[in-house]
Structure 1
Amino acid sequence: MKLRILLASVALATAVPAAAETLDNATVVQLASIGLGDEAIIAKIQASPANFDVTTDALIALKQDGVSSAVIAAMIEASNTTKASSSVAGSIDSPDPMVPHPSGVYMLADWLEEPKMLVIDATTSNQTKTGGFLGYALTGGIASMSFKAVIPNSEARVQTSDKRPTFYFYFDQADTSLSNRGGGNFWVAGAVTSPAEFSLVEFKVKKNRREAKVGKFNIGGAKAGVMDKDQIGFDYERIAPGVFEVTPQADLQPGEYGFIYSSSTGGGTGAAAVGAQTSRIFDFSIEK
């Protein structure tokens, strides 16, 4: 009976993983004081979680306690790595635009008790609808036939009651401290580098979908892209390499909106050239 209890206790002890040891300044001083070599201490620092104090006073104290310069350098490097990892991990919703964020489009939710960035996921519209075909046919092509990008659902996931919200665009640039994080190339072929390549438009809600004009065609020719009269003006400012602050030029009325980036997906002439395009749309709602 006693043997079974002993075996069960041993099994339970081996099944519980040991708590991860976190190194600090005192631990390093202790390892150095017993004569453990620099290589062994540095290897331990590199293999363990750490919470080092690397302020000037702390570094002086470490040196006075007999810790070598090589070990102190390893402690500083480990401390910097820990801080950088924490910054990147928490950057997805940081309200500070100068904190690293994954590339993409964000809305600053500064109306919340704790402000944060809201990621606006891209919606790809591969469906293009036509409008005004009857008028085009009856007038022999004098009246224009329009083409519309269509996205699903009657409202966007990201919503705000702020009539003039602030957006931040993060692009893949040479300076990767503020953009190009999260892996992969978020933007289309890496070619998008400025908000000037986008059009801000208002969508018309039709049952369970939203539509916006992205081209027109008549007897005089075809035009791809959002028409000037359908574009909503916005200003943008580069605040860092690859990072832009974007704001509408006027208050937006309640409704459905989106930043559209369109790229050609096929060849063709006339109406075929207008319809052959894919639109990436960063949509949002202005609530009443």
Structure 2
Amino acid sequence: MTMMSRFGALLGLALIAAGPAGAEPLTVENIVALSGAGIGDEAVIAKVKASGTRFDLSADQMIALKQKGVSGAVIAAMLSSGPTAVASPDSPDPGVAHPTGAYLLMSDKMTRMNATVSNQSKTGGIIGYALTAGIASASVKASIQNETSRIQTPDKQPTFYFFFDEANADGRVSSTWTSGNGSAILSPSEFTLVRLMKKGGRREARVGSFNIGGAKAGVMDKDRIPFDFALVRPGVYKVTANSPLTPGEYGFLFSLQAGAGATGAAGARIFDFTVI
């Protein structure tokens, strides 16, 4: 490289370094000049990563870069570069990264639904159970605080989005989607949509029953509200009820462990909402 060309490359490097952040992305020509300046792969790779420029290189372009003295390590950094996705909890676009969790689409934004934990279980129908010597069934109910949810919607057939860990592909397991047995929740099929009944300043969901013939754990079939879900992209699902909901209290309940009974009801987590 001649003295003049080396000076030009160094001048280009100085101009890039001195330019305002985000003023102009790096170009392939910039990379060739930086590599030819002899400043080392580590510095060039650091500049590529810091710029956030996305390089969509063809095979021919990669060969041409190699022939112009750009190292394989720098080319690899160019291929993996790009703007860092920023999680946006209220963006209505399911294609945008969101923190893992359940969201209600409302008023052109996503509203994150925090799980309400059932801190007590209750039984119902005990008198009938006792009077019939166990022939009539008694029920087990999960109970959560307050008679209404802080998440309220006028939409009778609201749209929800569930974002699982795969959506962000960061390798972490979020506690948001950890079930009672410690395993990760992977799809909406592991939830049950139920109507919650107001009672004594609380809301209740029937999650089991027992009689002389045995016990059942989980939401009864007649208490389930059918819903559909569709995969939007890896780790992201769109969820809607099959039919309009009447005004009242509702929630997506984690599937309870078989045989958990009252213990499972006391630790149930419900993503609750109100249709007004």
- Report the TM-score when normalising by structure 1: 0.68
CA deviation profile, 1:179-231 (whole Å, cap 9, x unmatched)? 46594333223343332222111111224321111111112221111111111
CA deviation profile, 1:214-261 (whole Å, cap 9, x unmatched)? 111112221111111111111122333333221111111111100111
Supply the distance in 2 between the matched residues of 1:91 and 1:202 (Cα, whole angstroms): 30
Show the counterpart of 2:13.
none
Task: Indicate if the aligned counterparts of 1:93 and 1:117 stay in contact, CA closer than 8 A.
Answer: yes
Supply the distance in 1 between the matched residues of 2:268 and 2:145 (Cα, whole angstroms): 13
- 1:242 lines up with 2:235 in the alignment: yes
Show the counterpart of 1:103.
100
2:173 to 172, 184, 187: 184
- Give, in angstroms, the shift of residue 262 of structure 1: 3.3
- State the one-letter code of the partner of 1:198: F
CA deviation profile, 1:142-191 (whole Å, cap 9, x unmatched)? 2221111011122212211100011122334xxx3x24659433322334
- 1:276 lines up with 2:263 in the alignment: yes
Instruction: Note the 1:1-288 alignment, pairs <5 A.
Output: 22=21, 25=26, 32=34, 35=37, 37-39=39-41, 41-42=43-44, 45=47, 49-50=50-51, 69=70, 73=75, 76=78, 80=82, 83=83, 85=84, 87=85, 89-109=86-106, 112=107, 115-172=108-165, 176=166, 178-179=167-168, 183-185=172-174, 186-188=177-179, 189-264=182-257, 274-277=261-264, 278-287=267-276
- State the one-letter code of the partner of 1:274: G
Supply the distance in 2 between the matched residues of 1:49 and 1:253 (Cα, whole angstroms): 52
- State the one-letter code of the partner of 2:103: Y
Question: Helix, strand or coil for the counterpart of 1:101?
Answer: coil
- Give, in angstroms, the shift of residue 74 of structure 1: 8.1
CA deviation profile, 1:94-128 (whole Å, cap 9, x unmatched)? 3222333333222122xx2xx22221112222421
Q: How many residues align?
A: 242
Q: CA RMSD in A?
A: 3.7
Report sequence identity in percent. 44
Q: Using a 3 Å threshold, how does the CA distance of structure 1 residues 123 and 21 change in structure 2: closer, same or farther?
A: same
Task: Indicate if the aligned counterparts of 2:45 and 2:74 stay in contact, CA closer than 8 A.
Answer: no
- State the one-letter code of the partner of 1:101: H
Of the structure 1 ranges 32-41 and 186-195, higher mean CA displacement relative to structure 2 is found in 32-41
- Give, in angstroms, the shift of residue 274 of structure 1: 2.2
Question: Helix, strand or coil for the counterpart of 1:97?
Answer: coil
Q: Using a 3 Å threshold, how does the CA distance of structure 1 residues 218 and 72 change in structure 2: closer, same or farther?
A: closer
The answer for unaligned runs of 5 or more in structure 1 is: 1-18, 268-272
Q: Using a 3 Å threshold, how does the CA distance of structure 1 residues 42 and 192 change in structure 2: closer, same or farther?
A: same
- State the one-letter code of the partner of 1:283: D
